[in-house]
Chains A and B, each alone.
Chain A
């Protein structure tokens, strides 16, 4: 057991007291353990059904370092395979998306159909004879694939709990974002993809548990008159701690400030909301301004109301999901999808898309500043002082907000533990507690990790 990993019990103790040792953002060894204990076991968002509407449609995705060929089969079913030829391992499909009935490996010509079956071998009978059973050389399926509201998740652990079990109470909130209209949401275009030199936990925790950063990080929009001057503006509403490290902030308007119901979504959709959501979900949704959170470990979303241009432009809602794909302890690839209700009027769809482009994605006036700052966290976390496991330099980060000070409410209509403010580190503490508990968990059936 290495020096770093033997200190995870210390990390667990610290985070319960609102402190996070700074070395967890830049350790290569810890990163390898995260891949093994977290990313190979958890449900990972791969894409949305609307990205592959027709038989033969495919998209190529990643579960960290596992290339995934996600497709719609000829009978309309969703399938996912390791995107690697079973002959010599070559990446089978290098296109981002497209439509094919078969995939031929350029190395030796092995060809697979949309069921993953090996249907063609160059000079097959002459070189392999009839002894080789082609059925044994099908594409290797991703062990688990499940969908919810059109969101396709994959999991590399055959024994993982069902997706709905994994999501737990989060499903109630995903219903509001994704299950509110009859036909559901659709992805516009393709996801934004870009590289940010930070640790995946920094971005996941920022979206999950940190509405507090908005007042300073995004102060430029306050100066422009797009965001309110009140520094507490993102605190109103509830922070909700869910099981398995998930969390969501349901941000409402400042007391006394009148905002349109349902995030200003078109009135023509309201009857659909009433059809598809429960009375409790409708009550929460009608008062919501922003929904922002993280599905552990690395799927986040933001659904705010934001202007497309100057301070005189109307605030428009959009739904944005993103995966923080780890590329190393200090590097992520961001995948960011904008999704819009299929039943929304066309002019609203356009305004919603423009609102997203204006505020999020690489050029977004909010996200520009997030990503720059996230790189600064990791840039300052690689050194001897930050890495000291004995914490001789007070090299812990502050997650104390609200600890033993803010109590949950007892009348929240939805699942989870709801606190009456979003300026709170409750989700972050729960996120890191769950994270370190998974790292400490013995998954090998060998002797437990001694620390």
Chain B
């Protein structure tokens, strides 16, 4: 399998774990030193400045805080996910750039559709992710993920899911 195919396969597998709520298996894909962030998008005239605000985020996580979020979802009172919402992580437009023999950079587009309760209209959040992945003897691990949403104003009632 080509490197590109391996990475595509890995990101689709990760999406499947999240959508099937196999969160412990998902956590196992994260490097112990993972940096997991989601800066804010704002509307600006981009000819003059970036429209990403890097020092404010929707997620500013490490392995421990992500583990706490997963443990919370296992409690009997995480009401945002009781009953569990349904998500579909659509991951596409994947571009892979090897850094060295161990690390690769992977960029992908994401669209996460979510339905809550029996409300017919889905919520969605979309944008792109910049990952750094690491090859280990047990397979690929995520070392860094920065999630850039397209929307300056989120339409999701909450972000009780992972992106």
B65 near A223: Cβ-Cβ < 8 Å: no
A residues 200-216 near B (Cβ < 8 Å) are: 216
Q: Determine the main DSSP class of A at the interface with B.
A: mixed
A158 near B: Cβ within 8 Å?
A: no
Checking B40, B79, B160 against A217 with a beta-carbon cut-off of 8 angstroms, the contacting residue is: B79
A78 to B78, CA, bound (A): 43
Q: Taking the nearest CB of chain A, how far is it from the CB of B85, in angstroms? A: 9
Least CB separation from A333: chain B residue: B153
Which residue of chain B has the shortest Cβ distance to A216 in the bound complex? B77
A94-102, A262-270, A315-323, A386-394 - interface stretch: A94-102
Stretch of B20-28, B53-61, B90-98 at the chain-chain interface: B53-61
Assess the B58–A363 pair: CB atoms within 8 A: yes
CB contacts (< 8 Å) of B159 on chain A: these are 362-363, 368
Please list the 3 inter-chain residue pairs (A to B) with the smallest Cβ-Cβ separation, ordered nearest first. A189-B56, A219-B77, A363-B159
Within 8 Å of chain B (Cβ to Cβ): is A197? Answer: yes
Max chain A CB contacts within 10 Å: which of B49, B67, B72, B76?
A: B72
Name the residue of chain B whose CB is nearest to the CB of A197.
B157
In the complex, whether B43 has a CB less than 8 A from a CB of chain A is: yes
What are 30 sample pairs from A and B whose C-beta atoms fall under 8 A apart?
A: A95-B44, A96-B44, A96-B152, A98-B45, A188-B55, A190-B42, A190-B56, A192-B56, A193-B153, A194-B153, A194-B154, A195-B153, A220-B77, A220-B78, A224-B71, A308-B65, A309-B62, A309-B65, A309-B67, A310-B67, A354-B60, A363-B59, A365-B69, A367-B158, A368-B79, A368-B158, A368-B159, A372-B157, A372-B158, A372-B160
A343 partner residues in chain B, CB cutoff 8 A: none
Contacts of B135 in A (CB 8 A): none
**Chain B positions within 8 Å of A94 at CB level:** 43
Complex contacts, B68 vs chain A, CB 8 Å: 224, 309-310, 358, 365
Query: CB distance B154 to A372 under 8 Å?
Result: no
Give the residue of A196, A224, A338 whose beta carbon is less than 8 angstroms from that of B75. A224
